[in-house]
């Protein structure tokens, strides 16, 4: 009799207790941006947060925790409670490049986080001076092969996505082009316009205006397929099959998050990303929204880590 009563009580309790997702969220959610306010990641976070909050039914508050190339904010999320109230807007830098180029990063980019979903991708474009003999990627590759060491390329510094993308291009095209690092691609633009620099793999959002102003020539875009963000530009892969390099953005939580909360965040995120207002705002930032499943996003980040690890090791790239 006592056992029957106990079982009945447990069954009633199970029915009465809602799942985590049914009660989540019952307070604002913090979206940590591991970079300074006003930067590309921060602007994307603020463009996303309002609509994501609407879909979740709670405010999503953006909090900037910059420092150490995104490490400080990422670590803060890794060490937070896995209850869905602290999430991270991560990038290629924090979870694909940083972990393989910096052995001192205090977190495991895969084991210490729960993938929630991809947010967007942002390609680069290949820029050359108007005086360049290359009018296409095929011509640039042919000229570089015939003149090893004659061309140079600018980057935003050692170990950055611009640097690694350029080295990936050199590796796949079999060319030798001299690296000239700058402290940001904006500082390299005047030298590119004047012809002191021969090539720059710049972000679409910062590079395309110089093309529209007639100051530079764009040869191609680095996404796998042609992008609606610049539909007239061919891809590098059309001249160099298999080439692809994009900066990705995605949401993570700390490890150990309940599956139903992960699913609720993911479904809300995907609904926000398909909203026309959000898509338009991201497009103006040079990014294309990319709804996904948590598993697909986790696989993407892992594959990107493996790709950049190969390039970093093959090209002996180090960051002091």
Tens digits of pLDDT across the chain (320 residues):
444 444 444 444 444 444 555 799 999 999 999 999 988 899 999 999 999 999 999 999 999 999 998 999 999 999 999 999 999 999 999 999 999 999 889 999 999 999 999 999 999 999 999 999 999 999 999 999 999 999 999 999 999 999 999 999 999 999 999 999 999 999 999 999 999 999 999 999 899 999 999 999 999 999 999 999 999 999 999 999 999 999 999 999 999 999 999 999 999 999 999 999 999 999 999 999 999 999 999 999 999 999 999 999 999 998 86
Domain identity same for 96 and 47: yes
Is the alpha carbon torsion for 185, 153, 304, 209 positive or negative? positive
Instruction: Give residue 198's pLDDT.
Output: 98
**Total Cβ atoms within 10 A of residue 286:** 23
Range of the domain at 154: 124-238
Residue 5 vs residues 8, 10, 215: alpha-carbon distances, Å: 5, 9, 81
Q: Which residue, 312, 165, 309, 156, is CA-closest to 245? A: 165
Domain identity same for 28 and 92: yes
Asked if the structure places residue 25 within a domain, the reply is: yes
The angle that helices 276-284 and 259-273 make with each other, rounded to 10 degrees, is 70
Domain identity same for 202 and 280: no
Pairing of strands 199-203, 113-129: antiparallel
Domain identity same for 24 and 116: yes
Contact status, residue 151 vs residue 198, Cβ threshold 8 Å: yes
Tokens 């942002």 identify what position?
122
Where is 119: in which H helix or E strand? strand 113-129
Domain identity same for 89 and 18: yes
d(CA 125, CA 203): 6
Q: How far is CA 60 from the centre of its chain?
A: 20
Asked if the structure places residue 320 within a domain, the reply is: no
Please give the model's pTM, rounded to 2 decimal places.
0.88
Domain identity same for 115 and 128: no
As beta bridge partners, residue 200 has 127, 154
Instruction: Give residue 274's pLDDT.
Output: 97
Asked if the structure places residue 56 within a domain, the reply is: yes
Instruction: Give residue 39's pLDDT.
Output: 86
Domain count of the fold of the chain? 2
The pair phi, psi for residue 231, each rounded to 5°, is -60, -20
Listed residues 203, 221, 238: the one ending a domain: 238
Domain identity same for 6 and 118: yes
In the 8-state DSSP scheme, what is residue 280?
H
């Amino acid at each position: 009799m006592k056992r029957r009563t106990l079982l009945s009580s447990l069954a009633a309790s199970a029915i009465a207790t809602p799942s985590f997702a049914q009660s989540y969220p019952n307070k604002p959610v913090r979206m940590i941006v591991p970079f300074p306010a006003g930067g590309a990641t921060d602007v994307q976070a603020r463009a996303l947060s309002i609509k994501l909050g609407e879909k979740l039914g709670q405010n999503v508050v953006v909090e900037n925790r910059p420092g150490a190339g995104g490490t400080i904010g990422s670590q803060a999320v890794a060490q937070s409670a896995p209850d869905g109230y602290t999430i991270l807007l991560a990038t290629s830098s924090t979870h694909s490049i940083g972990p393989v180029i910096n052995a001192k990063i205090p977190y495991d980019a895969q084991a210490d986080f729960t993938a929630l979903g991809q947010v967007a991708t942002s390609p680069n474009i290949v820029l050359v001076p108007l005086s360049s003999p290359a009018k296409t990627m095929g011509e640039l590759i042919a000229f570089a092969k015939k003149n090893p060491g004659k061309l140079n390329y600018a980057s935003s510094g050692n170990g950055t996505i611009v640097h690694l993308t350029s080295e990936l291009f050199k590796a796949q095209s079999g060319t030798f082009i001299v690296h000239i690092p700058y402290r940001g691609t904006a500082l390299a633009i005047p030298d590119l316009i004047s012809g002191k620099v021969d090539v720059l793999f710049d972000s679409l959002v910062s590079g395309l205006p110089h093309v529209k102003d007639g100051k530079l020539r764009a040869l191609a875009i680095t996404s796998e397929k042609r992008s609606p963000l610049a539909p007239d530009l061919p891809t590098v892969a059309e001249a160099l099959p298999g080439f692809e390099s994009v900066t990705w953005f995605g949401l993570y939580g700390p490890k150990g998050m309940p599956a139903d909360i992960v699913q609720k965040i993911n479904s809300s995120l995907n609904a926000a990303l398909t909203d026309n207002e959000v898509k338009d705002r991201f497009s103006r930032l040079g990014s294309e929204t990319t709804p996904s499943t948590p598993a697909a996003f986790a696989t993407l980040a892992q594959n990107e880590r493996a790709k950049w690890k190969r390039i970093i090791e093959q090209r002996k790239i180090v960051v002091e």
